[in-house]
Structure 1
Amino acid sequence: MDPITATPSGALASPAVARNTGPILEVLKAHMPGRGRVLEIAAGSGEHAVAFAGALPGLDWTPSDPSAEARTSIAAWAAAANLPNLRPPLVLDVLDPATWPDGPLQAVVCINMIHISPWTATEGLMALAGSRLAIGGLLVLYGPYREAEVPLAASNAAFDASLKFRDPAWGLRDRDAVTAAAKAEGLSLTRRVAMPAENLMLLFRRR
């Protein structure tokens, strides 16, 4: 939960994005389709959207966020980048299917949302991915998780406590619970990738 400050351009900049964009992009390059529609959920400042759309020009990238402040930032970064494959940000709430775009999508990407939202948001995300992804489409999740077979790192335990202090409905989710929620919507976990700073990328495919 790094502080986010306004840049001179009016966009927002997150120190976490600066740290994790490169490692996340390495995984995306290895597993994303070469072409197709991608929906990014909870795109935040928009820095990831610009970086990923720029590095993956064959993909039609649409960022989304329910926050007006976030969408303003996304639009500012997008205007500065002027990428032909980066779409305007959508107003999207994973709990409101009326805000979801039509499918089929080739990929849905969600970075650092699941632990900073109630569990119902994870269920909504899985329902969105299950209903909008094409068969074989990819759901990409990034963030910290609890895992039964892996001792919880001290840094993640402290982070979990700080999240729950801010909002009891927040906190690190159990990977198996997330996988079960995905399975209920027709999504199968196909890859777990260990990432820097005790994070994971979880890749799911729609059956």
Structure 2
Amino acid sequence: MYNDFKKSQAELKRRNDVEYASKVEIDCAKAKGDLISYKMESQKSFNKYTHTINDLNQTISEMKKNLSAHQETISILSQQKEAQIKLYKTREDKELDKVVALENKVKFLDNIIYKTDQLVQTMNMLNNKCRTSFAKLEFLKKAQRANPRLYDIGCYNDNLALMLAPESDEVIHLEKESRSKLSDLIRLFDYDKLNNLYDLFVPQREKSS
């Protein structure tokens, strides 16, 4: 009996060991399966994240290229802007120079006109003086016939017209020449003496008349 009992315990123990081992094997296989599944899922996630990171890197690279292109465009536009500013500044300076030159020319011509007006007034006064300095009108007519240019205000007006020419040196020269001629004329002719001469040499026929 005892021997049978021993045998039964040994057989039971053997069976228990086999069942335990089977259970362990099953658990191990299950763990391995879970590990493989986890690795597969992790690999999928890793691939997904890797793809996402690659996409992001590509997007960043494209954005950098676009940024570089925009920066280059901004640099070109800035250079063009500076060039336009310099061009407009140069044009503005030239226009201002033209304005200053025109203003100076206007002042110069205004001065000529002012001097011309004064000279015209002087000539008119002299012309009137020539007419009024003779005792008789026929003396004036004889003097005009003897020297018509002296009593012709038109010849002086021609010189005055020349004085309005745009060349400043020529204008100044003509003005000095005209004033010199005018001074010579004024110094050369003494109208009182001329009147006396006419009184002395009046023909007898005119005296009797």
Normalised-by-shorter TM-score class: under 0.3
**Structure 1 length-normalised TM:** 0.19
* Structure having the higher Rg: 2
**Larger helix share, 1 or 2:** 2
Structure number with greater CO (CA < 8 Å, separation at least 6) is 1
TM-score (norm: length of structure 2): 0.19
